[in-house]
Amino acid sequence: MRKFPLQLVSRAAQWCEPLLGLFFPNVCQLCQKEPATKEEGYVGEGCRQGVKFIREPMCDRCGLPFDGAITQHFECSNCKELDLAFKWARSSVAAKGTVLEVIHRYKYNRELWFEPYLAQLWLLGARETLAGEAFDALVPVPLHPHKQREREFNQAERIVRAVAEEAGLPARVDLLERVIPTRTQTKLDRKERAANVKKAFSVCKGLDIKGQRILVVDDVLTTGATTSACAQALLEGGAGEVCVWTVARGL
Protein backbone atom coordinates (compact mmCIF):
# COMPACT_ATOMS: atom_id res chain seq x y z
CA MET A 1 0.00 0.00 0.00
CA ARG A 2 1.39 3.39 -0.97
CA LYS A 3 2.26 5.67 1.96
CA PHE A 4 1.53 9.35 1.31
CA PRO A 5 3.40 12.14 3.12
CA LEU A 6 1.57 13.36 6.21
CA GLN A 7 1.52 16.94 4.90
CA LEU A 8 -0.38 15.88 1.78
CA VAL A 9 -2.82 13.82 3.84
CA SER A 10 -3.50 16.79 6.14
CA ARG A 11 -4.03 19.19 3.22
CA ALA A 12 -6.35 16.74 1.45
CA ALA A 13 -8.38 16.33 4.61
CA GLN A 14 -8.78 20.11 4.91
CA TRP A 15 -9.90 20.45 1.29
CA CYS A 16 -12.35 17.53 1.46
CA GLU A 17 -13.82 18.14 4.90
CA PRO A 18 -16.66 20.49 3.82
CA LEU A 19 -17.67 18.09 1.03
CA LEU A 20 -17.47 14.97 3.22
CA GLY A 21 -19.65 16.65 5.80
CA LEU A 22 -22.50 16.66 3.29
CA PHE A 23 -22.49 12.86 3.12
CA PHE A 24 -21.09 11.61 6.43
CA PRO A 25 -22.34 12.72 9.87
CA ASN A 26 -20.04 13.83 12.66
CA VAL A 27 -19.65 10.59 14.58
CA CYS A 28 -17.42 9.28 17.37
CA GLN A 29 -14.44 7.49 15.85
CA LEU A 30 -14.26 5.07 18.80
CA CYS A 31 -17.78 3.65 19.07
CA GLN A 32 -19.14 4.80 15.68
CA LYS A 33 -22.50 5.34 17.38
CA GLU A 34 -22.76 8.73 19.07
CA PRO A 35 -22.28 12.21 17.61
CA ALA A 36 -18.92 13.93 17.89
CA THR A 37 -17.46 16.94 16.13
CA LYS A 38 -14.06 17.92 14.81
CA GLU A 39 -13.67 20.31 17.76
CA GLU A 40 -14.24 17.39 20.14
CA GLY A 41 -11.59 15.31 18.38
CA TYR A 42 -14.35 12.97 17.20
CA VAL A 43 -14.69 11.42 20.66
CA GLY A 44 -18.30 11.27 21.82
CA GLU A 45 -19.66 12.06 25.26
CA GLY A 46 -20.26 8.42 26.16
CA CYS A 47 -16.71 7.39 25.28
CA ARG A 48 -15.39 10.21 27.45
CA GLN A 49 -17.16 8.94 30.57
CA GLY A 50 -14.65 6.24 31.46
CA VAL A 51 -11.64 8.55 31.48
CA LYS A 52 -9.95 8.70 34.88
CA PHE A 53 -8.48 12.09 35.77
CA ILE A 54 -5.55 11.90 38.15
CA ARG A 55 -6.12 13.52 41.52
CA GLU A 56 -4.33 13.49 44.85
CA PRO A 57 -3.03 11.58 46.70
CA MET A 58 -0.03 10.98 44.47
CA CYS A 59 3.75 10.78 44.46
CA ASP A 60 5.03 14.32 45.00
CA ARG A 61 7.74 13.81 42.39
CA CYS A 62 6.27 11.92 39.44
CA GLY A 63 2.52 12.25 40.08
CA LEU A 64 1.80 8.51 40.28
CA PRO A 65 -1.63 8.25 41.98
CA PHE A 66 -2.18 6.16 45.09
CA ASP A 67 -5.25 4.96 46.95
CA GLY A 68 -5.74 5.95 50.57
CA ALA A 69 -4.53 8.95 52.53
CA ILE A 70 -1.05 10.45 52.32
CA THR A 71 -0.50 13.12 54.95
CA GLN A 72 3.20 13.90 54.43
CA HIS A 73 5.77 14.26 51.67
CA PHE A 74 5.78 11.06 49.66
CA GLU A 75 7.91 9.70 46.81
CA CYS A 76 7.19 6.35 45.17
CA SER A 77 9.75 3.56 44.83
CA ASN A 78 10.30 4.43 41.16
CA CYS A 79 11.42 7.95 42.02
CA LYS A 80 13.63 6.71 44.85
CA GLU A 81 15.47 4.41 42.42
CA LEU A 82 15.94 7.00 39.69
CA ASP A 83 17.83 10.29 39.95
CA LEU A 84 15.17 12.42 38.30
CA ALA A 85 16.14 15.90 37.10
CA PHE A 86 12.71 17.52 36.93
CA LYS A 87 11.24 19.21 40.02
CA TRP A 88 7.92 17.43 39.53
CA ALA A 89 5.92 15.65 36.85
CA ARG A 90 2.16 15.51 36.54
CA SER A 91 -0.29 13.95 34.10
CA SER A 92 -3.92 14.76 33.36
CA VAL A 93 -5.39 11.27 33.04
CA ALA A 94 -4.60 7.59 33.47
CA ALA A 95 -3.19 5.88 30.37
CA LYS A 96 -5.79 3.17 30.01
CA GLY A 97 -8.98 2.34 28.15
CA THR A 98 -10.23 5.06 25.82
CA VAL A 99 -7.23 7.33 26.40
CA LEU A 100 -4.67 4.65 25.61
CA GLU A 101 -6.55 3.62 22.46
CA VAL A 102 -6.72 7.23 21.28
CA ILE A 103 -3.02 7.84 21.93
CA HIS A 104 -1.98 4.67 20.09
CA ARG A 105 -4.18 5.41 17.09
CA TYR A 106 -3.05 9.04 17.00
CA LYS A 107 0.61 8.24 17.42
CA TYR A 108 1.07 5.09 15.34
CA ASN A 109 -1.82 5.15 12.85
CA ARG A 110 -1.67 8.90 12.13
CA GLU A 111 -5.31 9.41 13.13
CA LEU A 112 -4.70 13.10 13.71
CA TRP A 113 -8.39 13.94 14.13
CA PHE A 114 -7.98 12.86 17.79
CA GLU A 115 -5.59 15.75 18.45
CA PRO A 116 -8.17 18.25 19.82
CA TYR A 117 -9.33 15.63 22.32
CA LEU A 118 -5.80 15.01 23.61
CA ALA A 119 -5.18 18.76 23.82
CA GLN A 120 -8.40 19.17 25.82
CA LEU A 121 -7.34 16.46 28.27
CA TRP A 122 -3.94 18.11 28.74
CA LEU A 123 -5.50 21.51 29.37
CA LEU A 124 -8.20 20.20 31.72
CA GLY A 125 -5.54 18.63 33.90
CA ALA A 126 -2.96 21.42 33.74
CA ARG A 127 -5.16 24.53 33.81
CA GLU A 128 -5.27 25.03 37.59
CA THR A 129 -1.51 24.56 37.96
CA LEU A 130 -0.80 26.93 35.07
CA ALA A 131 -2.98 29.56 36.71
CA GLY A 132 -1.05 29.30 39.97
CA GLU A 133 2.53 28.87 38.78
CA ALA A 134 4.64 30.89 36.35
CA PHE A 135 6.44 29.19 33.46
CA ASP A 136 8.40 30.72 30.62
CA ALA A 137 7.78 28.14 27.90
CA LEU A 138 6.28 24.82 26.87
CA VAL A 139 8.87 22.45 25.40
CA PRO A 140 7.95 19.16 23.69
CA VAL A 141 10.03 16.01 24.06
CA PRO A 142 11.79 15.92 20.68
CA LEU A 143 12.18 12.96 18.35
CA HIS A 144 15.48 12.16 16.67
CA PRO A 145 15.41 13.39 13.03
CA HIS A 146 15.55 9.79 11.79
CA LYS A 147 12.51 8.81 13.85
CA GLN A 148 10.63 11.96 12.88
CA ARG A 149 11.20 11.29 9.19
CA GLU A 150 9.89 7.77 9.71
CA ARG A 151 6.79 8.82 11.66
CA GLU A 152 6.44 12.15 9.79
CA PHE A 153 5.34 14.01 12.90
CA ASN A 154 6.17 14.43 16.59
CA GLN A 155 3.09 13.93 18.74
CA ALA A 156 4.55 15.94 21.64
CA GLU A 157 5.28 18.90 19.36
CA ARG A 158 1.78 18.85 17.91
CA ILE A 159 0.22 18.71 21.38
CA VAL A 160 2.36 21.67 22.50
CA ARG A 161 1.26 23.72 19.49
CA ALA A 162 -2.37 22.78 20.15
CA VAL A 163 -2.37 23.88 23.81
CA ALA A 164 0.07 26.82 23.80
CA GLU A 165 -2.40 29.64 23.08
CA GLU A 166 -4.91 28.63 25.75
CA ALA A 167 -2.09 27.89 28.18
CA GLY A 168 -0.76 31.41 27.57
CA LEU A 169 2.79 30.20 26.99
CA PRO A 170 5.09 30.11 23.97
CA ALA A 171 5.58 26.77 22.25
CA ARG A 172 9.37 26.46 22.10
CA VAL A 173 9.73 23.64 19.60
CA ASP A 174 13.13 25.00 18.62
CA LEU A 175 14.70 24.72 22.05
CA LEU A 176 15.56 21.07 22.61
CA GLU A 177 16.87 18.42 20.24
CA ARG A 178 17.44 14.68 20.45
CA VAL A 179 21.06 14.11 19.47
CA ILE A 180 21.24 10.32 19.95
CA PRO A 181 18.87 7.89 18.15
CA THR A 182 17.83 5.79 21.14
CA ARG A 183 16.04 2.44 21.19
CA THR A 184 12.32 2.38 21.94
CA GLN A 185 11.65 2.45 25.68
CA THR A 186 8.66 0.11 25.51
CA LYS A 187 10.35 -3.17 26.49
CA LEU A 188 13.00 -1.75 28.85
CA ASP A 189 12.85 -1.70 32.65
CA ARG A 190 13.25 1.53 34.58
CA LYS A 191 17.07 1.39 34.88
CA GLU A 192 17.47 0.42 31.23
CA ARG A 193 15.19 3.28 30.22
CA ALA A 194 17.29 5.78 32.15
CA ALA A 195 20.53 4.48 30.62
CA ASN A 196 19.00 4.43 27.13
CA VAL A 197 18.15 8.15 27.10
CA LYS A 198 21.08 9.46 29.13
CA LYS A 199 22.69 12.35 27.20
CA ALA A 200 20.20 11.81 24.35
CA PHE A 201 19.02 15.44 24.44
CA SER A 202 20.68 18.83 24.13
CA VAL A 203 19.65 22.47 24.08
CA CYS A 204 20.00 23.85 20.57
CA LYS A 205 23.11 25.98 20.11
CA GLY A 206 22.88 29.73 20.46
CA LEU A 207 19.72 29.80 22.59
CA ASP A 208 19.67 31.56 25.95
CA ILE A 209 17.39 30.00 28.58
CA LYS A 210 19.30 31.14 31.65
CA GLY A 211 17.09 31.05 34.72
CA GLN A 212 13.93 30.13 32.82
CA ARG A 213 11.24 27.91 34.28
CA ILE A 214 10.23 25.38 31.65
CA LEU A 215 7.35 22.91 31.38
CA VAL A 216 8.22 19.82 29.31
CA VAL A 217 5.28 18.23 27.49
CA ASP A 218 4.75 14.68 26.21
CA ASP A 219 1.88 12.29 25.52
CA VAL A 220 2.59 9.62 28.16
CA LEU A 221 4.81 9.42 31.24
CA THR A 222 5.83 5.98 32.48
CA THR A 223 9.00 5.90 34.59
CA GLY A 224 9.90 9.52 33.82
CA ALA A 225 13.29 8.56 32.36
CA THR A 226 12.79 10.36 29.04
CA THR A 227 11.39 13.57 30.48
CA SER A 228 14.09 13.53 33.16
CA ALA A 229 16.76 13.33 30.46
CA CYS A 230 15.11 16.32 28.77
CA ALA A 231 15.07 18.19 32.08
CA GLN A 232 18.75 17.42 32.67
CA ALA A 233 19.69 18.81 29.26
CA LEU A 234 17.65 21.97 29.88
CA LEU A 235 19.23 22.49 33.31
CA GLU A 236 22.69 22.00 31.83
CA GLY A 237 21.73 24.54 29.17
CA GLY A 238 20.93 27.16 31.82
CA ALA A 239 17.28 26.63 32.77
CA GLY A 240 16.48 27.50 36.37
CA GLU A 241 13.87 24.79 36.89
CA VAL A 242 12.09 22.16 34.82
CA CYS A 243 8.71 20.52 35.43
CA VAL A 244 6.73 18.07 33.31
CA TRP A 245 3.09 17.71 32.28
CA THR A 246 1.87 14.88 30.07
CA VAL A 247 -1.54 13.97 28.74
CA ALA A 248 -1.51 10.54 30.37
CA ARG A 249 0.26 8.53 33.08
CA GLY A 250 1.12 4.89 32.75
CA LEU A 251 0.00 3.04 35.89
Query: 192 lies in a domain?
Result: yes
Give Dmax (Cα) for the chain: 57
Query: 47 lies in a domain?
Result: no
Query: 18 lies in a domain?
Result: no
Per-residue pLDDT at 187: 67
Per-residue pLDDT at 182: 74
Per-residue pLDDT at 86: 97
Number of domains in the chain: 1
Per-residue pLDDT at 52: 95
Instruction: Find out whether 178 and 144 touch, Cβ atoms under 8 Å.
Output: yes
User: Taking the complete model, does pTM exceed 0.95, yes or no?
Assistant: no
Query: 156 lies in a domain?
Result: yes
Residue 48 to residue 102: CA distance in whole angstroms:
11
Residues of the chain with pLDDT under 70: 1-25, 71, 183, 186-187, 189-190
Q: Residue 154 sits in which domain range? A: 54-95+120-249
Per-residue pLDDT at 23: 45
Query: 134 lies in a domain?
Result: yes
Per-residue pLDDT at 21: 52
Per-residue pLDDT at 183: 64
Instruction: Find out whether 52 and 93 touch, Cβ atoms under 8 Å.
Output: yes
Instruction: Find out whether 35 and 27 touch, Cβ atoms under 8 Å.
Output: yes
CATH number at residue 213: 3.40.50
Query: 102 lies in a domain?
Result: no
Query: 129 lies in a domain?
Result: yes
Per-residue pLDDT at 74: 85
Per-residue pLDDT at 110: 92
Beta-carbon neighbour count of residue 242 at 10 Å?
26
